[in-house]
Amino acid sequence: MEILDGRQISLDIKEEIKKEVAGYIDKGVRAPHLVAILVGNDPASQTYVNSKDKSCKEVGITSSLYKYSKDITEKELLEVIDFINNDDEIDGLIVQLPLPKHISEEKIIQRINPAKDVDGFHPMNIGKMVLGLPTYISATPFGIIQLLERYNIDTQGKNCVVIGRSNIVGTPISILLSRKAKHGNATVTLCHSRTKDLKNICKNADIIIAAIGKPKFLTADMVKKGAVVIDVGIHRVKSDKTKSGFKLIGDVDFDEVSKKCSFITPVPRGVGPMTIVSLMQNTLKAYKKEVK
């Protein structure tokens, strides 16, 4: 069994981004600029946004964090987005999800200029992704594809099972893996809460993407010997073995599943850092105006 070391790959990619950004700055042009909007004080969202901010700074991307109270109105938030859309010195804009219930995530996402939508959540960018046109691929699916690519894991004709159909991960990764592309051409089964006989479907899989949001959901009896397992989950659970009293675990029962598979991502240090670095790559793409 080999660990898919998302942290190491993300460090390699960060070095590549850093060099490219330094090249622009040496020529006297401004650095790429990403704005993240955070509404309310959800601790997980704060952690994600802080990691994104830190990573941007490490590679020379200017990062601004716009924080608003949970009581901001939808209208006010839409006005902030309009303001950022019209600022030529801002390349990328992300609005951290989830938003408070009184704000429509759909309306907010649709207001972002698609050319600045480095999360790849705007319907126009999702449509382009489905058609295989140049666009921003959302960060987690993009990170997973890059991890497979950098470890030379062949997906051609493979049976691939995706568990979870979220707009952010399950649905886009199922489309990307089935596309006619070097790291696509897989036969994909997208499973969800209504799927019958999930265990047998998983047992036939060469590649499993677990993105269900339930700790240790994928157990060893669901996995074929030699399968590739990608764990998208991240859950903070109590532990008496760590100083903090907590540890992070994924959607996969790592200790048991890892004994059976050929490749597996750990949690932490697997998909998480790949997601962040993919956002940096999308920001660089926005800066270079590669997505119109």
**Largest pairwise CA distance in the chain:** 59
| Distance, CA of 287 to CA of 31 (rounded, Å) | 8
Smallest separation, CB 269 to ligand GUN (Å)? 18
Minimum gap (Å) between residue 97 Cβ and ligand GUN: 4
Nearest to ligand GUN of 168, 229 (CB atom):
168
**Which residues bind to ligand GUN, rule: CB under 6 A?**
94-97, 119, 139, 168
- Structure token digits, residue 8: 């190491």
Kindly report the backbone phi and psi dihedral angles of residue 35, in degrees, each rounded to the nearest multiple of 5, phi listed first.
-110, 130
| 34 or 227: CB nearest ligand GUN | 34
State the minimum distance, in angstroms, from the CB of residue 96 to ligand GUN.
5
Q: How far is the CB of 108 from ligand GUN (least distance, A)?
A: 10
Catalytic residue positions? 52, 96, 119
Rounded Cα distance between 183 and 88, Å, is 34
Determine contact, residues 96/41, Cβ cutoff 8 Å: no
Give 156 or 167: the residue with its C-beta nearer to ligand GUN.
Answer: 167
Tokens of 209: 């993407």
Signed CA dihedral, 57, 66, 48, 117: sign only: negative
Q: Which residue is nearest to ligand GUN (CB)?
A: 97
Q: Which is nearer to ligand GUN, 95 or 176 (CB)?
A: 95
- Six-digit token string for 181: 């592309």
Rounded-to-10 torsion of CA 239, 245, 251, 253? -30
